[in-house]
Amino acid sequence: MRIPLPESLHLRMDLIANPVPTRAAATIAVVRDGTHGLEAFLMRRRSALSFAPGMYVFPGGSVHPSDSDEITWVGPPPEQWAQRFSCHAELAKALVVSAVRETFEETGVLLAGPDEHSVLDDTTGLEAFREALENEELSFADFLNQQDLVLRADLIGAWAHWITPVFEPKRFDTRFFVAAIPTGQRIDSVNQEADKTMWAPLSTVLDEITAGRVSMLPPTLVTCQELSVLTTETLLPAAQNRTITPIEPKIEEEDGQLWLVSDRGEHL
């Protein structure tokens, strides 16, 4: 899929010579099976936000310092995540915690349970904790300890690694995860960064993008394309079989037109 460079980005070409530093971030594509195939939960960012205004995104955000705290955890250890994402174990641990924490803060979906064999089936009474986490008044590790819960790292899969292009004034080094919404849980109220949310059948959301009714950044778009052929049953096996390399879109000129092109040489 080819995406020409928007006119608004032509004004940022000076940032290529002096790019801003990236911030570590994590996001989870939360999915469920639907009547028309796999569906993903998407949030539209408010138009007043400085990064990706008006774009549909998955839940996620920046890594916080407290995401590195000691935490009760079951599933693949940090060293295994580090191998998947080509980073050190401390960062890998923080990325997993950040992904689960941000998803809980923004949607109420909590990938945690009393032990390695169970997961909470109702999180609607935890709104106060979500607010405390979002305000950084409480660490995710302390929240889990207070609730006698363990993070279920076995419920998520590593999917991709995208780096914001150098021409953006805000840049993130983002690891993408995937997870099926736990049985019994539902999306609760979402945070104030979103003005619209939806469960989107991935078999049709791509048509909505083509028609101009939905806008996405390339990482979200590509992830939706890749997930559209899966089910919740095949999701984690597909994640395990992926080879993950960093993708940082570049600008290339072709036939007098500027295009966004990934490191893999694909037009986005």
The per-residue pLDDT for 26 is 98
Q: Is the pLDDT of residue 253 over 80?
A: no
Q: Over the stretch 23-67, which tens digit does the pLDDT of each residue have?
A: 999 999 999 999 999 999 998 877 656 566 678 899 999 999 999
The per-residue pLDDT for 53 is 64
| Interatomic CA distance for residues 41 and 190, integer angstroms | 11
Mean pLDDT of the chain: 87
| Interatomic CA distance for residues 158 and 15, integer angstroms | 30
Q: Any idea where the domains of the chain sit in the sequence?
A: 21-247
| Interatomic CA distance for residues 2 and 43, integer angstroms | 24
| Interatomic CA distance for residues 54 and 220, integer angstroms | 13
| Interatomic CA distance for residues 100 and 130, integer angstroms | 12
**What is the distance, to the nearest Å, from the Cα of residue 68 to the centroid of all Cα atoms in its chain?**
18
- CB 169, CB 20: distance < 8 Å: yes
CATH of domain 21-247: 3.90.79.10
Vertex 251: Cα angle to 246 and 252 (nearest 5): 115
| Interatomic CA distance for residues 139 and 128, integer angstroms | 13
